[in-house]
Amino acid sequence: MTKIPGPPPFTGLRKRIADHRAGTAGRLGGQFVRETYCLTREEARAKAREWFDAFPKAAYWTEVESWRQLDEDQIEFTMRRLPSAD
């Protein structure tokens, strides 16, 4: 009776993936300029408009990265963009 081999060990592959992720961790996120604000809803909208006017989305990849509503109509949000349009 022949023994059917099990799946190959993936330890080498797992190590290479972990090493790659450790080497690139923070690099992608480090390319972006981020600023976090806590403003009223209307002020938050105005601030986001300022960012999109000053740093157009097509060139700077500008976006509202995250946001949450706090008490008393306060919005905490993070704006993100590339440092240059290159």
Summarize pLDDT for 14-34 with one digit per residue, the tens.
777 777 766 655 555 568 999
Of 62, 61, 63, 72, nearest to 38 by C-alpha is 72
- Looking at residue 82, its pLDDT comes to 93
The pLDDT-based confidence of 74 (bands split at 50, 70, 90) is: very high
Summarize pLDDT for 51-67 with one digit per residue, the tens.
999 999 999 999 999 99
What sign for the dihedral angle of Cα 9, 14, 15, 17?
Answer: positive
Q: What residue spans define the domains of the chain?
A: 32-86
CA angle 46, 31, 77 (to 5 degrees): 30
- Looking at residue 8, its pLDDT comes to 72
CA angle 8, 10, 14 (to 5 degrees): 170
CATH of domain 32-86: 3.30.30
Spatial distance between the Cα atoms of 67 and 81, rounded to a whole number of angstroms: 15
pTM of the model: 0.64
